[in-house]
Amino acid sequence: MRILVIAVGRLKQGAERELAETYRKRAEAIGRTLGLREIEIVEIRESRAQDAERRRTEESNAIAHVIPERAMLVVLDERGENLDSAALAGLLREWRAEDRPAVCFVIGAADGLADNLRRDANRKLAFGAATWPHQLARVMLLEQLYRAGTILAGHPYHRG
């Protein structure tokens, strides 16, 4: 099963990009032992439309075009469900057992995602009630994917 992190915007060179890449590599390495093929980052260009609704629509349409058929769609949304790390690991285990070709985690830009993409999501995931910059949300997501992998592998990284 592939894992795609689809994010609107690019991470520029710097600490966030380095940390995101560190967790991506760790998650991918432990994932290979669990039957998870790769963790791919897909960066979607931010819309330059003047209107926020049009920006959301253009960005969400671009996202929809890269989601593989039969993939589980998980959007990061402040109104989403707060899962602990073990619950996220359990979902990955479940989706792998269902023989899903991919799981797509979507991180929108500052204006968020279009309503139709949010409605189509299989899950909505939040990292607490706070609003996080999309750069940090990407790092936190990749860390949680790594942590979920360690939980599934019985690795001591997660001590919860």
Residue 95 CB-half CA count within 13 A: 22
Check: CB of residue 110 under 8 Å from CB of residue 12: no
- Map 88-129 to HEC letters: HHHHHHHHHHCCCCEEEEEECECCECCHHHHHHCCEEEECCC
pTM over 0.85, yes/no: yes
- The residue whose two tokens read 């019985």 is 154
pLDDT of res. 60: 96
Sequence spans of domains, the chain: 2-153
16 phi, psi to nearest 5 deg? -65, -40
**Rounded CA gap, 88 and 150, in Å?**
12
- Beta-ladder partners of 3: 39, 103
Strands 72-82 and 39-44: unpaired
pLDDT of res. 160: 59
Both tokens of residue 152? 């599934």
Domain 2-153 has CATH 3.40.1280.10: yes
pLDDT of res. 6: 98
pLDDT of res. 155: 84
Q: How do the pLDDT tens digits run along the chain, 160 residues long?
A: 999 999 999 998 899 999 999 999 999 999 988 888 889 999 999 999 999 999 999 999 999 999 999 999 999 998 899 999 999 999 999 999 999 999 999 999 989 999 999 999 999 999 998 888 888 999 999 999 999 999 999 988 866 5
pLDDT of res. 3: 96
